[in-house]
Structure 1
């Protein structure tokens, strides 16, 4: 989950505290809270205001957990032995207070925590050392890799083709909630996503017994973008959302699709999250790289050392992340002649560039050929391609798409509400070199006979006799529904008017016999209508909608979306339930205590997972005890020690009570401001 999604769910109390306290100076300049929380300059300022414990917890999160839900036990294990449990909790609450980490309350009262995905991307750049992002140099004898796998269409065109199919044929649902089998088979023929490349993502989804993986992925994208919605009987096209989507430039579409894919399949392992971020840094250069290169960078940072896995990291990275991107056409896979290992190269930039300028280029135009074929270059707007798919047959969708005008295709456009005049205007408006005269005449001739005869869907109202029919015409609430009289006793009724007419007749004292329900809006279901979009720029989109991203049926791995966000941030005292029972002198006085008191303080520190400050031979130490043992009539404690001169963890130390002179119990956030 990212900040924009979390802010929609954030309790007003928590949001108000962030907006009125910590981030007020930046918000007063008109910047949104989501943008502030992912602004590297702002976050660098916040980093400078953190105490040392908060910085160490943040670094632990970034290095070893990433943007994956975690509980306190997991964070404590990742932070050990550098931080004690109490220090970890104190640092975590500080990060929550700064809006960097968020808490979610599970149904049984326990908590899960989350560093947002876009926050992870920002913080890893601030807390990790700079890592070079260039591809490895190849030897002089090596050659550039040769492309071995790339997508035929790319995800944008795959989804476009699925939408066109839905507009032409509809997507009716069975009682089980899936697309009818015959339609599903035809839809699957329209989707050419490589199933083998998608397998590594290990997606789980509803209706897995009915939908193939490529179909499930395509439909899930369309549902999450709200280009399709389910009404229980069918997957309905949403013309407003489709128009908005097709109005976006291809680059913007790719960025939204990639963001949606990341949200759904973001890796659980922190090391792979780092690898993904590193791979994204290579998107703008168009350079070849290997999974081994990314793994080497992780090893250089020491990230892999704490992530034990029996599987090969290189293979996992390729199968779970890089190869699905190949299936979507965002990355190409290649092989060199001197080595059999896979290389990868971005062919589309899926993440926003550092300085991104608006595309001010003009829309591309169609090239209408004398043989009735129409060529559409890649810069032709999506809305134009949409309309072209209505009035022409698709020969090929590609970088240069090819369509062909036929008598049947013109008939299809007319059946879907287009007129001969509208078709001619569209072709003339969008043709780069005009419409060949014989093509224009042919379209006019094909369209001319249309509508001179027409089949209409209607119901027949039959009266028992002419007297009944005449009485019917005198009922004020009924006469407006009588379309046409046939003979002396029959009337044509529009299917949609059957129920209101029946209600009017019953109100007047009649009891009409009704036709049995046919499952549609009349005697037969209505025909599929191919939505008409604003392709001539007659209207402007008034409002940009932001898809919610939660309407699909592929299961997300992240569970926090189902939990309630916690509004209250624990205070320092809340972190220590036994705080009231601790003698005040243990926290205030730095002095020598009796051996029995020393033992009590050690036991208390172990219970609270906190630290002791001790003075030994004139030097101050911070020790986090984790074991106390009785030995030879005395006792000893074992713990992890740090000196005042170094914040780095020292080796485990074992001390007898007489081996230090003075001591003090430290509760982080309570009495650790001046630790040394």
Structure 2
């Protein structure tokens, strides 16, 4: 929906594309008894003192419990992450997503175990069918846990992790110019929109002038953002027209502002909450970029499982280290190994977007291969203690600003954001680069006056910034621009936090934020035995004894295996194999069964490694002993 607009009708219109829920939102819907049961689940004991649901968001916890999961739970979770991400899915969709050779019974039991541990949840939308969903903010930590475990397993099977590159042999890519960090692009857009005016039109959208001013400050191309974050169709609801008005990149900025509490609607305008905005300006650089990266990832991963896999591969890299893009892609391909229809990882799309956001750099090594490296910490779920301490310091800390007699201000990349924000209202930005150039002119001084500055306050600000007395030429420009605006006669800065009748709002077109009431959370207590209909009527020897049967009984066992979607253990000419039946074929008065063999578990519990998978057609006379293989022991 568009910035500054939200009502009950819009919530209903969006139900077809409802957003996934975060772990916190799910936990809030549970009873105390239900939450306690999940917190006390044996899987989370290794995470003490972190407790559920925080365990789902902590990459240390997900990595610790991954090797402890039952094989079928790990198999189901890896498939869910690759095939659906955080999109809701049915049990049948999960089974269909798996590549040949994976028994549906193992996936069904794995899904049950994931629900028992509070990793996957059961929901229903309205009167629709039962769905399963992975909490939105748990997806990347699970991807990281899976990738970490895979690096410790058979590298010949799983692919090597990306290899570090010698930075001395890297050349820049022609056409990749400087792009400021997205946080700085956002700051510039907020400043220009505020200067152009935040009044809403009769259609409750910003004016064309304000939209153009804001969009003009962004280095992010609309196509790069839309490739990963697709907003709903313009005709899908009452907000379609307004969504079409805002370019995707600017819409993302506006929704960031609403989601962060910097903007809200009041009395026909968008109003800035200065307290919230100043809090962000004074945050540490790591906090600012990490929060924006989380929002970008959440918006994309909520609708794109393939995008989530690519993002996970990129976010697993170390900052400041060069990697070959092809090797990152190869590592990401391992995430798709369980899929029946693997999809592209979208790593190229992510790289293009992150480069335009000033977060990633691209180059060419001595062999002509494309290489990439992060300019920021790419793991937004990393604990804050691992980020640099303090406020606006480090890469963007306040540092020297030089002022020339003709009014040019040279500001390097380490300038604090609170200072940059004041410069946006007090001077005219002429160049945005590693060193940004502002210019003091009479017209810029008039704009500063509208923002609340007087001659005295503007002079004091610039002298404090440069740590020297202003040149006479600059003083003259301030006097000319501020004529009649000194002392108590100067402009008054509006207290934008005290607007009456302010209505909090949030723009939810791109951001994956769940709306209460779209999903009913279902807490069912079932047993694994209930997953296999008719198990009490099946002869126990079918499940317990590896033995020979009459030809007609062999067909009965195969039919039962198909109903349960489970494997069958066969002795074919002295070779024991696990067979996954797909269908029974009647032919010429006899019958045959087609299927696959086989997928087995790794001995070192680093999860699943494929043996040779062969599609075969078997006739009942081709095997002797047989038995049904359920993923856990059963029997009458």
1:244 aligns with 2:273: no
Unaligned runs of 5+ in 2: 1-17, 233-239, 499-503, 603-609
Q: Which residue pairs with 1:385 in the alignment?
A: 420
Q: Which residue pairs with 1:482 in the alignment?
A: none
Q: Could you tell me whether the CA contact under 8 Å between 2:399 and 2:414 is conserved in 1?
A: yes
Q: Could you tell me whether the CA contact under 8 Å between 2:551 and 2:620 is conserved in 1?
A: no
- Given candidates 3, 15, 26, the residue that maps to 1:9 is 26
Aligned residues: 578
1:294 aligns with 2:328: yes
Q: Relative to 1, partners in 2 of residues 1:161 and 1:643: Cα closer, same or farther, differing over 3 Å?
A: closer
Query: How is 1:201-212 mapped onto 2 (pairs within 5 angstroms)?
Result: 201=228, 203-204=230-231, 206=240, 207-212=242-247
State the alpha-carbon separation in 1 of the partners of residues 177 and 548 from structure 2: 72
Greater radius of gyration (CA)? 1
Q: Relative to 1, partners in 2 of residues 1:560 and 1:57: Cα closer, same or farther, differing over 3 Å?
A: farther
What CA deviation, in whole Å up to 9, does each residue of 1:47-95 have, x standing for no partner? 3333333343344445666565543334323445433222210122223
Query: How is 1:183-582 mapped onto 2 (pairs within 5 angstroms)?
Result: 183-195=210-222, 197-198=224-225, 200-201=227-228, 203-204=230-231, 206=240, 207-231=242-266, 233-266=268-301, 273-282=308-317, 284-287=319-322, 289-290=324-325, 292-297=326-331, 303=337, 307=341, 317-318=347-348, 320-333=349-362, 344-351=372-379, 356-358=387-389, 363-407=398-442, 409-418=444-453, 422-423=457-458, 425-433=460-468, 435=470, 449-450=484-485, 529=494, 551-554=507-510, 562-568=518-524, 570-582=526-538
Q: Could you tell me whether the CA contact under 8 Å between 2:23 and 2:56 is conserved in 1?
A: no
State the alpha-carbon separation in 2 of the partners of residues 366 and 643 from structure 1: 64
Q: Relative to 1, partners in 2 of residues 1:183 and 1:528: Cα closer, same or farther, differing over 3 Å?
A: farther
What CA deviation, in whole Å up to 9, does each residue of 1:602-649 have, x standing for no partner? 333322223445667787654444434556666554444569999856
Q: Relative to 1, partners in 2 of residues 1:606 and 1:590: Cα closer, same or farther, differing over 3 Å?
A: same
Please report how far the alpha carbon of residue 247 of structure 1 lies from its aligned counterpart in structure 2 after TM superposition. 1.0
SS in structure 1 at match of 2:41: helix
State the alpha-carbon separation in 1 of the partners of residues 206 and 189 from structure 2: 13
State the alpha-carbon separation in 2 of the partners of residues 183 and 594 from structure 1: 80
State the alpha-carbon separation in 2 of the partners of residues 81 and 671 from structure 1: 25
What CA deviation, in whole Å up to 9, does each residue of 1:113-133 have, x standing for no partner? 337233222222213546242
Q: Which residue pairs with 2:5 in the alignment?
A: none
- Given candidates 170, 179, 190, the residue that maps to 1:163 is 190
Q: Which residue pairs with 1:459 in the alignment?
A: none
Q: Relative to 1, partners in 2 of residues 1:381 and 1:2: Cα closer, same or farther, differing over 3 Å?
A: farther
Q: Which residue pairs with 2:163 in the alignment?
A: 134
Unaligned runs of 5+ in 1: 457-526, 534-547
1:605 aligns with 2:530: no
Higher relative contact order (CA 8 A, sep 6+): 2
> RMSD in angstroms over aligned alpha carbons?
4.8
What CA deviation, in whole Å up to 9, does each residue of 1:210-255 have, x standing for no partner? 2334433433333333322234722221212211111123333222
Q: Relative to 1, partners in 2 of residues 1:144 and 1:381: Cα closer, same or farther, differing over 3 Å?
A: closer
State the alpha-carbon separation in 2 of the partners of residues 304 and 660 from structure 1: 31
Q: Relative to 1, partners in 2 of residues 1:55 and 1:370: Cα closer, same or farther, differing over 3 Å?
A: same
What CA deviation, in whole Å up to 9, does each residue of 1:546-604 have, x standing for no partner? xx996343376999995344433642133134345545665566666666555444333
Please report how far the alpha carbon of residue 160 of structure 1 lies from its aligned counterpart in structure 2 after TM superposition. 0.9
TM-score of the aligned structures, taking structure 2 as reference length: 0.74
Q: Which moved more, 1:378-387 or 1:441-450?
A: 441-450
- Given candidates 106, 118, 132, the residue that maps to 1:99 is 118
Please report how far the alpha carbon of residue 158 of structure 1 lies from its aligned counterpart in structure 2 after TM superposition. 2.0
Q: Relative to 1, partners in 2 of residues 1:116 and 1:549: Cα closer, same or farther, differing over 3 Å?
A: farther
SS in structure 1 at match of 2:258: helix
Q: Which residue pairs with 1:149 in the alignment?
A: 176
Q: Which residue pairs with 1:89 in the alignment?
A: 108
State the alpha-carbon separation in 2 of the partners of residues 612 and 553 from structure 1: 48
1:175 aligns with 2:209: no
What CA deviation, in whole Å up to 9, does each residue of 1:365-414 have, x standing for no partner? 54444444444333332122222333344444443333344555445444
Q: Could you tell me whether the CA contact under 8 Å between 2:100 and 2:596 is conserved in 1?
A: yes
What CA deviation, in whole Å up to 9, does each residue of 1:119-162 have, x standing for no partner? 22222221354624225689x9x872444223444422221112
TM-score of the aligned structures, taking structure 1 as reference length: 0.70
Q: Which moved more, 1:445-454 or 1:18-27?
A: 445-454
State the alpha-carbon separation in 2 of the partners of residues 664 and 672 from structure 1: 12
